[in-house]
Amino acid sequence: MNPAAATPPIETEALIIGAGPAALFLAFQLGLQEIACQLVDVLPAPGGQCHALYPDKPIYDLPGLPVCSGRELTERLLQQLRPFNPPLHLGQLVSGLQRRPDGRWHLRSIDSGDSGQEWIAPLVFIAAGVGAFLPRKESVAGLERFERGPAPQVCYHGLPAAYTAEAMAKRHIIVHGGDAAAVELALELAPPLGADAPGRITLLHRSPRFQIEPALQAALEQALAMGRLQLVLGQPVGFDTVANDPAALQALQLATPGDGHATLPCDWLLPRLGLSPKLGPLADWGLALERKHLPVDSATMATAEPGLFAVGDINHYPGKRKLIVCAFHEATLAAFAAAALLRPGQRQLLQYTTTSPRLQQLLGVAGASAAAG
Protein backbone atom coordinates (compact mmCIF):
# COMPACT_ATOMS: atom_id res chain seq x y z
CA MET A 1 0.00 0.00 0.00
CA ASN A 2 1.15 3.54 -0.71
CA PRO A 3 2.60 4.79 2.61
CA ALA A 4 0.95 8.15 1.92
CA ALA A 5 -2.47 6.62 1.41
CA ALA A 6 -4.83 7.13 4.33
CA THR A 7 -7.25 4.32 3.44
CA PRO A 8 -6.99 0.86 1.84
CA PRO A 9 -7.30 0.57 -1.96
CA ILE A 10 -10.81 0.93 -3.37
CA GLU A 11 -11.85 -1.84 -5.73
CA THR A 12 -14.10 -0.74 -8.56
CA GLU A 13 -14.91 -1.96 -12.06
CA ALA A 14 -13.76 1.25 -13.72
CA LEU A 15 -11.74 4.28 -12.74
CA ILE A 16 -11.92 7.48 -14.76
CA ILE A 17 -8.97 9.88 -14.58
CA GLY A 18 -10.48 13.34 -14.97
CA ALA A 19 -13.90 14.87 -14.33
CA GLY A 20 -14.19 17.07 -17.41
CA PRO A 21 -17.10 16.81 -19.87
CA ALA A 22 -15.66 13.65 -21.48
CA ALA A 23 -15.35 11.93 -18.09
CA LEU A 24 -18.80 12.99 -16.85
CA PHE A 25 -20.58 11.74 -19.96
CA LEU A 26 -18.47 8.57 -19.94
CA ALA A 27 -19.57 7.89 -16.36
CA PHE A 28 -23.19 8.23 -17.53
CA GLN A 29 -22.60 5.83 -20.43
CA LEU A 30 -20.85 3.35 -18.12
CA GLY A 31 -23.91 3.58 -15.88
CA LEU A 32 -26.14 2.59 -18.80
CA GLN A 33 -23.79 -0.37 -19.36
CA GLU A 34 -24.15 -1.26 -15.66
CA ILE A 35 -20.43 -0.75 -15.02
CA ALA A 36 -19.60 0.73 -11.61
CA CYS A 37 -17.11 3.56 -11.88
CA GLN A 38 -15.40 6.27 -9.85
CA LEU A 39 -13.91 9.57 -11.04
CA VAL A 40 -10.79 11.40 -9.86
CA ASP A 41 -9.77 14.97 -10.66
CA VAL A 42 -7.07 17.20 -9.27
CA LEU A 43 -9.37 20.20 -9.44
CA PRO A 44 -11.66 21.04 -6.50
CA ALA A 45 -14.74 20.98 -8.77
CA PRO A 46 -15.87 18.86 -11.74
CA GLY A 47 -16.20 20.21 -15.29
CA GLY A 48 -12.61 20.29 -16.58
CA GLN A 49 -11.81 23.15 -18.95
CA CYS A 50 -15.49 24.18 -19.17
CA HIS A 51 -15.70 24.90 -15.47
CA ALA A 52 -12.10 25.91 -14.74
CA LEU A 53 -11.31 28.05 -17.78
CA TYR A 54 -14.58 29.42 -19.18
CA PRO A 55 -17.47 28.90 -16.72
CA ASP A 56 -19.44 31.94 -17.91
CA LYS A 57 -18.58 31.91 -21.61
CA PRO A 58 -21.23 30.65 -24.03
CA ILE A 59 -20.82 27.39 -25.97
CA TYR A 60 -22.85 27.38 -29.19
CA ASP A 61 -22.06 24.01 -30.77
CA LEU A 62 -23.61 21.42 -28.47
CA PRO A 63 -26.35 19.33 -30.10
CA GLY A 64 -29.81 20.49 -29.11
CA LEU A 65 -28.48 23.23 -26.81
CA PRO A 66 -28.27 26.43 -28.88
CA VAL A 67 -26.36 28.21 -26.13
CA CYS A 68 -24.99 27.00 -22.83
CA SER A 69 -22.22 28.25 -20.53
CA GLY A 70 -19.35 26.05 -19.35
CA ARG A 71 -20.84 26.08 -15.85
CA GLU A 72 -24.33 25.17 -17.08
CA LEU A 73 -23.00 22.30 -19.19
CA THR A 74 -21.21 20.92 -16.14
CA GLU A 75 -24.36 21.21 -14.03
CA ARG A 76 -26.42 19.47 -16.71
CA LEU A 77 -23.90 16.64 -17.06
CA LEU A 78 -23.88 16.15 -13.28
CA GLN A 79 -27.67 16.18 -13.21
CA GLN A 80 -27.79 13.55 -15.97
CA LEU A 81 -25.28 11.43 -14.04
CA ARG A 82 -27.20 11.62 -10.75
CA PRO A 83 -29.09 8.28 -11.12
CA PHE A 84 -25.74 6.45 -11.05
CA ASN A 85 -24.16 8.62 -8.34
CA PRO A 86 -20.54 7.52 -8.95
CA PRO A 87 -18.04 8.55 -6.26
CA LEU A 88 -16.18 11.70 -7.33
CA HIS A 89 -12.75 12.20 -5.76
CA LEU A 90 -11.72 15.83 -6.12
CA GLY A 91 -8.43 17.53 -5.27
CA GLN A 92 -6.61 14.27 -6.08
CA LEU A 93 -3.83 14.06 -8.64
CA VAL A 94 -3.56 10.56 -10.08
CA SER A 95 0.18 10.06 -9.85
CA GLY A 96 0.68 6.35 -10.48
CA LEU A 97 -0.73 3.73 -12.84
CA GLN A 98 0.63 0.18 -12.90
CA ARG A 99 -0.48 -3.19 -14.16
CA ARG A 100 -0.90 -5.77 -11.39
CA PRO A 101 0.07 -9.44 -11.79
CA ASP A 102 -3.67 -10.31 -11.95
CA GLY A 103 -4.07 -8.03 -15.01
CA ARG A 104 -6.02 -5.31 -13.20
CA TRP A 105 -4.75 -1.75 -12.81
CA HIS A 106 -3.40 -0.24 -9.63
CA LEU A 107 -3.71 3.54 -9.36
CA ARG A 108 -2.70 5.96 -6.67
CA SER A 109 -3.30 9.62 -6.11
CA ILE A 110 -1.88 12.38 -3.98
CA ASP A 111 -3.66 15.39 -2.57
CA SER A 112 -2.33 18.72 -1.39
CA GLY A 113 -1.88 17.37 2.12
CA ASP A 114 0.55 14.62 1.04
CA SER A 115 -2.00 11.87 1.62
CA GLY A 116 -3.85 10.08 -1.12
CA GLN A 117 -5.94 7.16 -2.26
CA GLU A 118 -5.39 3.92 -4.16
CA TRP A 119 -7.70 2.05 -6.51
CA ILE A 120 -7.71 -1.36 -8.15
CA ALA A 121 -9.76 -1.69 -11.33
CA PRO A 122 -9.85 -3.91 -14.41
CA LEU A 123 -10.84 -0.89 -16.54
CA VAL A 124 -9.17 2.54 -16.57
CA PHE A 125 -10.31 5.47 -18.69
CA ILE A 126 -7.94 8.35 -19.18
CA ALA A 127 -10.06 11.48 -19.72
CA ALA A 128 -7.24 13.84 -18.78
CA GLY A 129 -7.87 16.52 -21.41
CA VAL A 130 -4.82 18.69 -21.90
CA GLY A 131 -3.42 17.49 -18.59
CA ALA A 132 -3.99 18.00 -14.90
CA PHE A 133 -4.96 21.57 -14.11
CA LEU A 134 -2.57 22.76 -11.45
CA PRO A 135 -2.52 26.24 -9.93
CA ARG A 136 0.22 28.60 -11.10
CA LYS A 137 2.55 28.97 -8.15
CA GLU A 138 4.09 32.03 -6.55
CA SER A 139 7.67 32.47 -7.77
CA VAL A 140 9.10 33.28 -4.32
CA ALA A 141 11.64 30.64 -3.26
CA GLY A 142 10.83 29.00 0.07
CA LEU A 143 7.18 30.10 0.21
CA GLU A 144 6.03 26.53 -0.51
CA ARG A 145 6.92 25.49 3.05
CA PHE A 146 3.83 27.37 4.31
CA GLU A 147 1.51 25.26 2.12
CA ARG A 148 1.82 22.21 4.37
CA GLY A 149 1.02 21.16 7.91
CA PRO A 150 -2.18 21.24 9.94
CA ALA A 151 -2.54 25.04 9.60
CA PRO A 152 -1.27 26.03 6.14
CA GLN A 153 -0.78 29.76 5.55
CA VAL A 154 -0.49 29.59 1.76
CA CYS A 155 -3.44 27.98 0.03
CA TYR A 156 -3.93 27.68 -3.76
CA HIS A 157 -7.30 25.88 -3.79
CA GLY A 158 -10.36 26.53 -1.64
CA LEU A 159 -9.94 27.32 2.03
CA PRO A 160 -8.63 24.89 4.68
CA ALA A 161 -10.87 24.03 7.61
CA ALA A 162 -8.90 26.41 9.91
CA TYR A 163 -10.20 29.35 7.86
CA THR A 164 -13.37 29.90 9.86
CA ALA A 165 -15.19 33.23 9.55
CA GLU A 166 -14.25 34.06 13.14
CA ALA A 167 -10.56 33.31 12.59
CA MET A 168 -10.53 35.18 9.29
CA ALA A 169 -11.85 38.37 10.85
CA LYS A 170 -8.64 38.62 12.88
CA ARG A 171 -6.18 37.81 10.10
CA HIS A 172 -4.37 39.77 7.43
CA ILE A 173 -5.39 37.86 4.34
CA ILE A 174 -3.88 38.52 0.93
CA VAL A 175 -5.62 37.33 -2.22
CA HIS A 176 -3.09 37.52 -5.05
CA GLY A 177 -4.31 37.65 -8.66
CA GLY A 178 -6.03 39.68 -11.34
CA ASP A 179 -8.79 37.52 -12.77
CA ALA A 180 -12.38 36.83 -11.75
CA ALA A 181 -11.41 34.00 -9.37
CA ALA A 182 -9.14 36.33 -7.36
CA VAL A 183 -11.57 39.25 -7.27
CA GLU A 184 -14.56 37.05 -6.40
CA LEU A 185 -12.63 35.45 -3.54
CA ALA A 186 -11.49 38.82 -2.16
CA LEU A 187 -15.07 40.11 -2.27
CA GLU A 188 -16.37 36.93 -0.64
CA LEU A 189 -13.88 37.27 2.24
CA ALA A 190 -14.30 41.03 2.70
CA PRO A 191 -16.15 41.77 5.93
CA PRO A 192 -19.55 43.47 5.72
CA LEU A 193 -19.54 47.23 6.12
CA GLY A 194 -19.19 48.24 9.77
CA ALA A 195 -18.18 44.73 10.93
CA ASP A 196 -15.63 44.57 13.72
CA ALA A 197 -12.68 43.08 11.83
CA PRO A 198 -9.24 43.69 13.31
CA GLY A 199 -7.66 41.89 10.34
CA ARG A 200 -7.59 43.12 6.80
CA ILE A 201 -8.38 41.72 3.35
CA THR A 202 -5.96 42.79 0.64
CA LEU A 203 -6.29 42.20 -3.07
CA LEU A 204 -2.75 42.13 -4.47
CA HIS A 205 -2.18 42.53 -8.20
CA ARG A 206 0.66 43.79 -10.32
CA SER A 207 -1.52 46.38 -12.11
CA PRO A 208 -4.73 48.34 -11.46
CA ARG A 209 -6.37 46.60 -14.45
CA PHE A 210 -8.31 43.36 -13.86
CA GLN A 211 -9.51 40.75 -16.37
CA ILE A 212 -13.10 40.81 -15.15
CA GLU A 213 -16.63 41.53 -16.37
CA PRO A 214 -18.02 45.08 -15.84
CA ALA A 215 -20.42 43.94 -13.09
CA LEU A 216 -17.58 42.43 -11.06
CA GLN A 217 -15.43 45.51 -11.66
CA ALA A 218 -18.27 47.65 -10.27
CA ALA A 219 -18.60 45.41 -7.19
CA LEU A 220 -14.84 45.63 -6.62
CA GLU A 221 -14.81 49.42 -6.90
CA GLN A 222 -17.69 49.67 -4.47
CA ALA A 223 -15.99 47.41 -1.91
CA LEU A 224 -12.75 49.40 -2.22
CA ALA A 225 -14.61 52.70 -1.84
CA MET A 226 -16.31 51.40 1.32
CA GLY A 227 -12.99 50.22 2.74
CA ARG A 228 -14.13 46.60 2.97
CA LEU A 229 -10.86 45.60 1.31
CA GLN A 230 -7.72 47.29 0.10
CA LEU A 231 -5.97 47.05 -3.24
CA VAL A 232 -2.18 46.87 -3.26
CA LEU A 233 -0.17 46.98 -6.48
CA GLY A 234 2.95 44.87 -6.45
CA GLN A 235 4.63 41.53 -6.93
CA PRO A 236 5.82 39.26 -4.07
CA VAL A 237 9.62 38.95 -4.03
CA GLY A 238 10.24 37.63 -0.51
CA PHE A 239 8.72 37.06 2.91
CA ASP A 240 9.34 37.54 6.63
CA THR A 241 8.69 34.98 9.33
CA VAL A 242 7.70 35.51 12.94
CA ALA A 243 10.74 36.20 15.14
CA ASN A 244 11.98 32.86 16.58
CA ASP A 245 9.51 30.88 14.45
CA PRO A 246 10.74 30.29 10.90
CA ALA A 247 7.70 28.09 10.28
CA ALA A 248 5.25 31.02 10.66
CA LEU A 249 4.73 33.47 7.84
CA GLN A 250 4.35 37.06 9.00
CA ALA A 251 4.66 39.37 5.98
CA LEU A 252 5.22 39.50 2.25
CA GLN A 253 7.99 41.59 0.72
CA LEU A 254 6.75 43.29 -2.45
CA ALA A 255 8.32 44.94 -5.45
CA THR A 256 5.94 47.83 -6.15
CA PRO A 257 5.48 49.89 -9.34
CA GLY A 258 8.27 52.39 -10.04
CA ASP A 259 11.03 50.25 -8.48
CA GLY A 260 9.53 50.65 -5.03
CA HIS A 261 9.45 48.18 -2.16
CA ALA A 262 6.86 47.45 0.50
CA THR A 263 6.17 45.05 3.35
CA LEU A 264 2.62 43.71 3.66
CA PRO A 265 1.50 41.92 6.85
CA CYS A 266 0.32 38.44 5.90
CA ASP A 267 -1.23 35.71 8.03
CA TRP A 268 -2.73 33.86 5.09
CA LEU A 269 -1.82 34.11 1.42
CA LEU A 270 -4.38 32.90 -1.12
CA PRO A 271 -2.76 32.98 -4.58
CA ARG A 272 -5.24 32.83 -7.45
CA LEU A 273 -2.86 33.13 -10.38
CA GLY A 274 -4.75 30.92 -12.81
CA LEU A 275 -4.36 27.29 -13.78
CA SER A 276 -1.94 25.67 -16.16
CA PRO A 277 -2.36 22.17 -17.56
CA LYS A 278 0.48 19.74 -16.92
CA LEU A 279 0.62 16.33 -18.56
CA GLY A 280 2.69 15.57 -15.48
CA PRO A 281 2.41 12.03 -14.13
CA LEU A 282 0.73 10.66 -17.25
CA ALA A 283 3.98 11.12 -19.16
CA ASP A 284 5.76 8.82 -16.66
CA TRP A 285 3.47 5.80 -16.90
CA GLY A 286 5.34 4.19 -19.79
CA LEU A 287 2.39 4.60 -22.16
CA ALA A 288 2.96 5.10 -25.88
CA LEU A 289 2.31 8.81 -26.39
CA GLU A 290 2.13 10.61 -29.71
CA ARG A 291 2.89 14.30 -29.31
CA LYS A 292 1.54 14.19 -25.74
CA HIS A 293 -1.63 12.34 -26.82
CA LEU A 294 -2.71 8.73 -26.38
CA PRO A 295 -3.28 6.93 -29.68
CA VAL A 296 -6.53 4.92 -29.62
CA ASP A 297 -8.56 2.66 -31.87
CA SER A 298 -11.28 5.01 -33.13
CA ALA A 299 -13.91 2.21 -32.98
CA THR A 300 -13.42 1.54 -29.26
CA MET A 301 -11.15 4.29 -27.78
CA ALA A 302 -8.94 1.44 -26.55
CA THR A 303 -5.23 2.17 -26.20
CA ALA A 304 -2.61 -0.46 -26.97
CA GLU A 305 -2.89 -1.60 -23.31
CA PRO A 306 -5.76 -4.03 -22.63
CA GLY A 307 -8.31 -2.47 -20.28
CA LEU A 308 -6.97 1.06 -20.77
CA PHE A 309 -9.07 3.54 -22.74
CA ALA A 310 -8.66 7.24 -23.54
CA VAL A 311 -11.47 9.70 -24.33
CA GLY A 312 -11.70 13.44 -24.97
CA ASP A 313 -8.90 15.89 -25.67
CA ILE A 314 -6.17 13.51 -24.49
CA ASN A 315 -6.65 10.89 -27.21
CA HIS A 316 -5.68 10.80 -30.84
CA TYR A 317 -6.93 8.91 -33.92
CA PRO A 318 -7.22 9.86 -37.58
CA GLY A 319 -9.73 12.69 -37.92
CA LYS A 320 -9.70 13.56 -34.20
CA ARG A 321 -11.24 16.94 -33.30
CA LYS A 322 -10.89 18.43 -29.83
CA LEU A 323 -14.57 19.23 -29.40
CA ILE A 324 -16.99 18.37 -26.63
CA VAL A 325 -19.40 16.70 -29.06
CA CYS A 326 -16.59 14.39 -30.23
CA ALA A 327 -15.73 13.56 -26.61
CA PHE A 328 -19.38 12.53 -26.04
CA HIS A 329 -19.28 10.20 -29.05
CA GLU A 330 -15.98 8.73 -27.88
CA ALA A 331 -17.37 8.17 -24.38
CA THR A 332 -20.32 6.22 -25.81
CA LEU A 333 -18.13 3.96 -27.96
CA ALA A 334 -15.68 3.42 -25.09
CA ALA A 335 -18.47 2.35 -22.72
CA PHE A 336 -19.78 -0.24 -25.22
CA ALA A 337 -16.24 -1.56 -25.78
CA ALA A 338 -15.59 -1.71 -22.04
CA ALA A 339 -18.78 -3.70 -21.45
CA ALA A 340 -17.71 -6.21 -24.11
CA LEU A 341 -14.30 -6.53 -22.47
CA LEU A 342 -15.68 -6.89 -18.95
CA ARG A 343 -18.32 -9.45 -19.93
CA PRO A 344 -16.94 -11.45 -22.83
CA GLY A 345 -19.45 -13.75 -24.44
CA GLN A 346 -22.45 -11.70 -23.29
CA ARG A 347 -24.57 -10.50 -26.22
CA GLN A 348 -24.56 -6.72 -26.52
CA LEU A 349 -27.94 -5.25 -27.31
CA LEU A 350 -28.39 -1.72 -28.54
CA GLN A 351 -31.12 -0.33 -26.34
CA TYR A 352 -32.83 3.06 -26.53
CA THR A 353 -33.37 5.08 -23.38
CA THR A 354 -36.73 6.07 -24.89
CA THR A 355 -38.09 2.53 -24.95
CA SER A 356 -35.89 0.19 -22.90
CA PRO A 357 -37.51 -0.74 -19.54
CA ARG A 358 -34.08 -1.84 -18.27
CA LEU A 359 -32.37 1.48 -19.08
CA GLN A 360 -35.33 3.40 -17.66
CA GLN A 361 -35.12 1.37 -14.49
CA LEU A 362 -31.40 2.24 -14.22
CA LEU A 363 -32.23 5.89 -14.79
CA GLY A 364 -34.98 5.81 -12.18
CA VAL A 365 -37.60 6.90 -14.71
CA ALA A 366 -39.41 3.57 -15.21
CA GLY A 367 -43.04 4.28 -16.00
CA ALA A 368 -42.42 7.95 -16.76
CA SER A 369 -42.56 7.52 -20.57
CA ALA A 370 -45.81 5.54 -20.37
CA ALA A 371 -47.29 8.27 -18.21
CA ALA A 372 -46.10 10.88 -20.73
CA GLY A 373 -48.10 9.01 -23.33
For the chain, the C-alpha Rg in angstroms (whole number) is: 24
Q: How far is the CB of 6 from ligand FAD (least distance, A)?
A: 17
The set of residues, in sequence order, having a beta carbon less than 8 Å from that of 181 and lying 6+ positions away, is 272, 274
Q: How far is the CB of 70 from ligand FAD (least distance, A)?
A: 7
Nearest in space to 363 (alpha carbons), one of 79, 74, 40, 64? 79
**20 versus 86: smaller Cβ distance to ligand FAD:** 20
Q: How far is the CB of 250 from ligand FAD (least distance, A)?
A: 33
Confirm or deny that 154 is annotated as ligand binding.
no
Among residues 42, 186, 187, 308, the one that binds ligand FAD under rule CB under 6 A: 42
Q: How far is the CB of 306 from ligand FAD (least distance, A)?
A: 21
Among residues 31, 86, 116, 129, the one that binds ligand FAD under rule CB under 6 A: 129
Report whether 180 contacts 212 (CB < 8 A): yes
Q: Binding segment for ligand FAD among 46-54, 174-182, 184-192, 242-250 (CB under 6 A)?
A: 46-54
Query: Taking the CA of residue 328 as centre, how many other CA atoms within 13 Å lie in the half-sphere pointing to its CB?
Result: 8
Does residue 76 interact with ligand FAD by CB under 6 A?
Answer: no
Among residues 16, 27, 37, 59, the one that binds ligand FAD under rule CB under 6 A: 59
Report whether 261 contacts 246 (CB < 8 A): no
Q: How far is the CB of 293 from ligand FAD (least distance, A)?
A: 11
Confirm or deny that 67 is annotated as ligand binding.
no
Confirm or deny that 114 is annotated as ligand binding.
no
Does residue 152 interact with ligand FAD by CB under 6 A?
Answer: no
Q: How far is the CB of 236 from ligand FAD (least distance, A)?
A: 26
**216 versus 279: smaller Cβ distance to ligand FAD:** 279
Among residues 53, 159, 197, 340, the one that binds ligand FAD under rule CB under 6 A: 53
Q: How far is the CB of 288 from ligand FAD (least distance, A)?
A: 17
Q: Binding segment for ligand FAD among 40-48, 220-228, 232-240, 251-259 (CB under 6 A)?
A: 40-48
Classify each residue of 149-159 as buried b or exposed e, where b means 16 or more C-beta atoms within 10 Å of its C-beta: eeebbbbbbee
**168 versus 212: smaller Cβ distance to ligand FAD:** 212
**229 versus 327: smaller Cβ distance to ligand FAD:** 327
Whats the size of the chain, residue-wise? 373
Confirm or deny that 354 is annotated as ligand binding.
yes
Q: How far is the CB of 153 from ligand FAD (least distance, A)?
A: 25
Positions in 277-336 near ligand FAD (CB under 6 A): 281-282, 312-313, 322-325, 327
**133 versus 146: smaller Cβ distance to ligand FAD:** 133
- Known binding-site residue numbers: 41, 49, 54, 94, 133, 313, 354
Q: List residues binding ligand FAD (CB under 6 A).
A: 17-23, 40-43, 48-50, 53-54, 59, 61, 93-94, 127-133, 281-282, 312-313, 322-325, 327
